[in-house]
Amino acid sequence: MSRYSFLLCAATLIVGCAEPNTSAVTDQADPASDSQAIMTAVNFEAGDTATMEVPEMSCAIMCYPKVKEALEKVDGVAEVELVPQEEEGIINDHRVTVHFDGSVSGTDAVAALDKAGFPQSGFQTQQ
């Protein structure tokens, strides 16, 4: 029985990561904050930190590592962290914090996520 449960759980995670949510991020404010993801051109410098909304990131096991890897391959990105979640292993807040150690165009970071399979991602701005 436990083997069947494990296989069912693994299949659910794989399907969850393979079937992305297609809602537009620019039209919806994040319920966890008073900010909204934006797609405007923005540049970052060493020492800056920014928050990105990644609506297609649906699981902590496969999706978040892909997001982290894609962003950390961008020259000037030092580290990417998942924002705190309500429950470990479950993504209920689709945001990551990005720390910069060099000059980075926000459009390059968004393009890296788009190429990795996470379209409609963007940086947040306070309103």
Q: Domains plus CATH for the chain?
A: 2-126 (3.30.70.100)
Residue type for 125, please? T
Instruction: Give me the residues of the chain with pLDDT under 70, please.
Output: 1-40, 125-127
Beta strands in 22-116 (DSSP E): 35-38, 43-44, 49-53, 77-82, 95-100, 104-105
State residue 105's pLDDT score. Answer: 95
For the chain, the maximum distance between any two Cα atoms, rounded to a whole number of angstroms, is 53
Using DSSP, state whether 127 is helix, strand or coil.
Answer: coil
pLDDT in tens, 102-117: 999 999 999 999 999 9
Adjacent-strand bridge partners of 96 = 52, 82
- In angstroms, the CA 48 to CA 100 distance is 5
Which two three-digit tokens encode residue 119?
């379209």
Block residue for tokens 């319920």 = 31
